[in-house]
Structure 1
Amino acid sequence: MFAILSAGLAPSFALLSYFYLKDKVTEPISLIIRTFLTGAILVFPIMFIQYVLTSEDITNNYFIQSFFFIAFFEEFFKWFIFVFTIYYHDEFDDHYDGIVYGVSISLGFASVENILYLITNGIEYAFMRAFFPVSSHALFGVIMGYYFGKAKLTPHHTNFNRFLAFFIPFVLHGIYNYILLSIGQNWIYILSPFMVLLWFMALRRVKSANQFV
């Protein structure tokens, strides 16, 4: 069990440390822990909703499953938690802060999801999941947090940027899952370049947020 917990948490801690240390003025560790744990708790209500939708056998359409059963609920709840716990917090006073907190919430969610998957399917999947599901959640969090930062710290297009903080991660997450569900055993050949694109998008936003004045 210790090995599974270690393998499940290690990629999240590594990614969170990477994005945290790129912040010019680091955020309080206590707040990072709080947002991480809040994201972790999100797994359980979302899993329940997804279980109900799946057990009711509403549809076998991969597009609907990818974008609405998975991406919509996961990204909406992460977006909602960000607004509820961080957006109006006094510590959220820099554009890059949005990225730190977005990544923290997303990786809290990804950690629990990853641990549950490894318990069910085996620790041999840990390496693959570190590069794909866990990393993708972190990158969705970067993009979400970037637009929350723009919404809070620029005087124009506030509502539109808050909308983009949900919409862009939702679309990217939907595409990610659609590739997994629809391609079959060859998913890695399509998903690998998609992950490269996600990293490119995320790192551009990291650079932009750190240059924001």
Structure 2
Amino acid sequence: MLAIITSGVAPALALLSFFYLKDKITEPLPLIIRTFISGCLIVFPIMFIQYAFQSDQIGNLFIQSFFVVAFLEEFFKWFLFLYLIYQHTEFDAHYDGIVYAVSISLGFASIENILYLLVNGIQYAFTRALFPVSSHALFGVIMGYYFGKAKMNNHYVGGNIFLALIIPIILHGIYNFILGTVHENWALFAVPFMIILWFFGLHRMKIAITA
């Protein structure tokens, strides 16, 4: 049990440390912990809603990928950011948006990862770290980037807040659709997608850091 919890949380903490330490002026740890724990807690209402949809036997892969999974998960993270961070005094730089959005996303990813490993076994820990956990972090990077743009610029505030939601939903939906469509050779499609996602996320990081 301890090994599963450790394997489930370790990738999220490693990624969070990477993004956190890239900040020119590091954010207060109590607030990072708060956002991380909040991200952990939203797993359970999301799972309940997703279970309700599955009980209704929604079989369409597109709907499952983009709405039942991507929309629900990214909306809850987006809403949590708006509620906890957007008006907070510590959110005073473009890159701060990335740090806090990644913290929320990785809190969510860590609990999701633990639950998956409990059901399917610790042998999936490495693959889970490379794909689902990393993808959640990168969706958080993109969400936080647009929240940062909205907060630091007076132009297109509403548009950037909308982009902070819709772009992660689209990318998350594509990721899920790839996994749902391709079973045996899923890595042939998932690996290139993740490489593109990393380049996209790191580019947004660079812009936010130098803003």
TM-score for the superposition, normalised by structure 2: 0.99
Question: Structure 2: where are the runs of 5+ without partners?
Answer: none
What are the within-5 Å matches in structure 2 for residues 108-187 of structure 1?
108-187=107-186
Deviations 1:60-117 (A, max 9, x none): 1111100001000000000000000000000000000000000000000000000000
Question: Per the alignment, in what secondary structure is the counterpart of residue 194 of structure 2?
Answer: helix
**What amino acid maps onto 1:207 in structure 2?**
K
Look up the match of 1:62: 61
Alpha-carbon distance between aligned partners in 2 of 1:121 and 1:184, rounded to the nearest angstrom: 17
**What amino acid maps onto 2:145 in structure 1?**
Y
Question: Per the alignment, in what secondary structure is the counterpart of residue 85 of structure 2?
Answer: helix
After the TM superposition, which segments of 4 or more aligned residues of structure 1 sit over 4 Å from their partners? none
Look up the match of 2:34: 34
Alpha-carbon distance between aligned partners in 2 of 1:114 and 1:151, rounded to the nearest angstrom: 31
Deviations 1:7-40 (A, max 9, x none): 0011000000000000000000000000000000
Count of aligned residue pairs for this structure pair: 211
Alpha-carbon distance between aligned partners in 2 of 1:52 and 1:185, rounded to the nearest angstrom: 29
- RMSD over aligned Cα, in angstroms? 0.5
**What amino acid maps onto 1:179 in structure 2?**
I
Alpha-carbon distance between aligned partners in 1 of 2:196 and 2:166, rounded to the nearest angstrom: 17
**What amino acid maps onto 1:15 in structure 2?**
L
Look up the match of 1:47: 47
Question: Per the alignment, in what secondary structure is the counterpart of residue 25 of structure 1?
Answer: coil
Alpha-carbon distance between aligned partners in 2 of 1:120 and 1:39, rounded to the nearest angstrom: 21
Alpha-carbon distance between aligned partners in 2 of 1:69 and 1:96, rounded to the nearest angstrom: 30
Alpha-carbon distance between aligned partners in 2 of 1:186 and 1:42, rounded to the nearest angstrom: 32
Question: Per the alignment, in what secondary structure is the counterpart of residue 88 of structure 1?
Answer: coil
> Deviation at 1:185?
1.7
> Deviation at 1:56?
1.4
> Deviation at 1:183?
1.2
Look up the match of 1:92: 91
Alpha-carbon distance between aligned partners in 1 of 2:126 and 2:74, rounded to the nearest angstrom: 24
> Deviation at 1:52?
0.7
Alpha-carbon distance between aligned partners in 1 of 2:71 and 2:191, rounded to the nearest angstrom: 22
Alpha-carbon distance between aligned partners in 2 of 1:102 and 1:198, rounded to the nearest angstrom: 16
Look up the match of 1:196: 195
1:23 aligns with 2:23: yes
Alpha-carbon distance between aligned partners in 1 of 2:136 and 2:65, rounded to the nearest angstrom: 15
Alpha-carbon distance between aligned partners in 1 of 2:183 and 2:198, rounded to the nearest angstrom: 23
> Deviation at 1:184?
1.6
Look up the match of 1:207: 206
Alpha-carbon distance between aligned partners in 1 of 2:165 and 2:84, rounded to the nearest angstrom: 16
**What amino acid maps onto 2:41 in structure 1?**
I
Q: Percent identity?
A: 65
Alpha-carbon distance between aligned partners in 2 of 1:55 and 1:86, rounded to the nearest angstrom: 34
> Deviation at 1:155?
1.1
